[in-house]
Amino acid sequence: MKRDPQSKIATEDIARRVRELAGEAGTVVFSNGKFNLIHPGHAHYLHEASHYGTVLVVAVNSDATYEAIKGCKPSAVWAHRALLLASLECVDLVVPLEDMTPHNLIRAIRPDFLIKSDTSELPPVGHEVVESYGGQVIVVKAFGGYSTTELLKQL
C-alpha cells in the first residue's frame, strides 16, 4: 500500500516513529545529506540502501545547517527537499538534521546500518557512533557520476 509522502515526514518523536515502523524484528537503515538538488544518483543510492533493512530513514540537513555548512542558502527549502525524498517509494521516513553532524540523531535512532554514497566524505560522518554499538557502515557506489556540486556548476 502506498503511503502519502507527507505521512513519511517526521519532525517530532523521531525515535518513537522509527521504532513503530521497524517493529520488534525490523532493521533500521539510516542515511543523511543536504539533498539540495535531488538527482538520479540520490534515487539510486537510496534505493540500494533500502535493501539493507526494513526501514530506511533519511535525515535532511535543515536550512540553517545547510547554510552553515555551505555558506549559502539551499536551492529548495527543507520542507520541499523532504517532500521530494518522501515521495520515493524506497524511503520510509524523512527527518530533519538540525545539528552539524548526525551523531545525536544516530544515537537516538540506533540504526543497524549507516549508508552513504561513495561521492560523500569517507568514512562517513557518524560511522564511529554506529560502529560503537555494533552497527555497520555501507558505502554504495555512485550512479552515473551524478554530483549535486557538479550539476549546480553546470547550471
Closest listed residue to residue 32, CA positions, set 125, 118, 145, 119? 125
Q: What is the CATH number of domain 5-154?
A: 3.40.50.620
Bridge partners, residue 139, by sequence: 116
Q: What is the pLDDT of residues 50-88, one digit of tens each?
A: 999 999 999 999 999 999 999 999 989 999 999 999 999
Using DSSP's 3-state secondary structure scheme, residue 150 falls into helix
Report d(CA 102, CA 43) in Å as an integer.
Answer: 21
Q: What is the 3-state secondary structure (H, E, C) of 32-56?
A: EECCCCCCHHHHHHHHHHHCCCCEE
Q: What is the pTM of this model?
A: 0.93
Q: Which of 115, 120, 119, 113 is nearest to 139 (CA)?
A: 115
17-58 pLDDT per residue, tens: 999 999 988 999 999 999 988 888 889 999 999 999 999 999
Domain boundaries, the chain: 5-154
